[in-house]
Structure 1
Amino acid sequence: MKDQRASQKDAYEMILEAIDTGIYRPGDRLVESELAERFGVSRTPVREALQRLETQSMLSRDGRSLIVASLDHNQMADLYVVRTELEGLAARLAARHATPEEVRVLRDMVEDDRALIGHPDDMSRANRRFHKQIHLASHNKYLVQQLDLVHRSMALLASTSLAAEGRGEEAIKEHDLIVSAIEAGDGEAAHKALSDHISKAFITRLKIDADKER
């Protein structure tokens, strides 16, 4: 029984990670047998993991097939509203509670990520790590749990706003402002810097989507 539960958890986490890292993108069809072979597990835990992901709206039905879900305009807007509020709160709490070591890690991330400008996929992964570090530095486990759910849903957006021309460089500058506010212990400035950062990312994404409609 223990091994079966472990396999189910592993299958779920492996599929979720594959969606999060872009191996499977919105609209991609997920086939139980192919997933079982890919991840080296039996079909039963894969089937249970797919059912769980469908319940969580990470997957949707296309006829009899399961596909990675996508977000429409209104869903995306709602997601960004929630993300802006929760991320801002995380930054405010990080300014109060982050240890010197956690701040040092954030500062090093900003400096290291400058080398990724012009490589949007790599920068997107680094961006997720940066935001996760701020979440952890808030030292509020309930907030971290909610932000994990929000970022899981972000994987249902087909592309990264960091692919827009000039956005990578702007994002690094915004990250620098966020870390400076956390370093200074200024919760309000940290909240504003991170909220503005998310708002600018949303504006960029809206412009990307508008360009696609031309």
Structure 2
Amino acid sequence: MGDQKQGQKDAYALILDAIDVGMYRPGDRLVESELAERFGVSRTPIREALQRLETQSLLARDGRSLIVSSLDHNQLAELYVVRTELEGLAARLAARHAAEEEIRVLREMVEDDRKIVNDPSALSRSNRRFHKQIHLASHNRYLVQQLDLVHRTMALLATTSLAVEGRGETAIEEHEAIVAALENRDGEAAHEALKNHISKAFETRLKLDSGMD
């Protein structure tokens, strides 16, 4: 039974990671047999993982097939509203509860990101790690769970807003402001800096999706 549960978890994580890194993009069809062969997992845990992803709305039905979901404008707006509030709360709690070591790790992340500012893919991966570190630094397990769900849904965005010219540098400066507020243990400033960061990301996303320069 334990091996079966591990297989289910692994299949779910493997498919989710594949969507997250863009191996499967919105609209792509996921075939049980192909996934089992690609990941070297039996079809039963693959089937159960697909059902779980469908329940979470990360996959959608297209006739008899399952495809990677896409977000329409309204869904995107709703997602960013929730993300802004939850991320802001995480920053406020992190200012109060984060260990000094956790804040130092965030500071190092910002400095390291300056070296990859011209690599949108690497910067996007680092950005996810940065936000995850803030979530964990909030030391609130229920908030972390909700943010995990939000960020899983973010994987449905086919492109990163960090690919927009100049957004990488701006995002790093926004991260800098968040870390500075955490270092000062200023919960309100951290809350506002994080919400501002997400608001700017949403604005960039809207411009990207509309084809604006």
Q: TM-score, normalising length from structure 1?
A: 0.97
1:2 to partner: Cα distance = 2.2
Name the structure 2 match of 1:180. Answer: 180
Quote the residue 1:211 is aligned against.
211
Identical residues among aligned pairs (%): 77
Question: C-alpha deviations, 1:153-207, integer Å up to 9, x for none?
Answer: 0001111110111000000000000000000000000000000000000000101
Give 2:111's aligned amino acid. Answer: E
Q: Secondary structure at the match of 1:157?
A: coil
Matches within 5 A, 1:77-156: 77-156=77-156
Aligned length: 213
- Runs of 4+ in structure 1 deviating by more than 2 angstroms, as ranges, are none
Query: Which residue of structure 1 lines up, in the alignment, with residue 44 of structure 2?
Result: 44
Instruction: Say what the alpha-carbon RMSD is for the aligned residues.
Output: 1.1
Q: Which amino acid aligns with 1:115?
A: K
Alpha-carbon separation, structure 2, partners of 1:10 and 1:211: 37
Q: Post-superposition shift, 1:30? A: 0.8
Partner of 1:168: 168
Distance 1:50 1:21 in 2: 17
> Any idea what the Cα deviations from partners look like across 1:49-97, whole Å, max 9, x if unmatched?
1111111101011222111101000000000000000000000011111
**1:195-206 equivalences in 2 (<5 Å):** 195-206=195-206
Q: Which moved more, 1:75-84 or 1:21-30?
A: 21-30
Secondary structure in 1 matching 2:61 = strand
Residue type of the partner of 2:7?
A: S
Deviation at 1:29, TM superposition (A): 1.1
Which structure 1 residue ranges, 5 or more long, are not aligned? none
Residue 192 (structure 2) pairs with residue 158 (structure 1): no
Q: Which letter does structure 1 place at the counterpart of 2:26?
A: P
Residues of 1 paired with 2:55 and 2:96: CA distance?
Answer: 37
Contiguous gaps of at least 5 residues in structure 2? none
The corresponding residue for 1:54 is 54
What letter matches 2:2 in structure 1? Answer: K
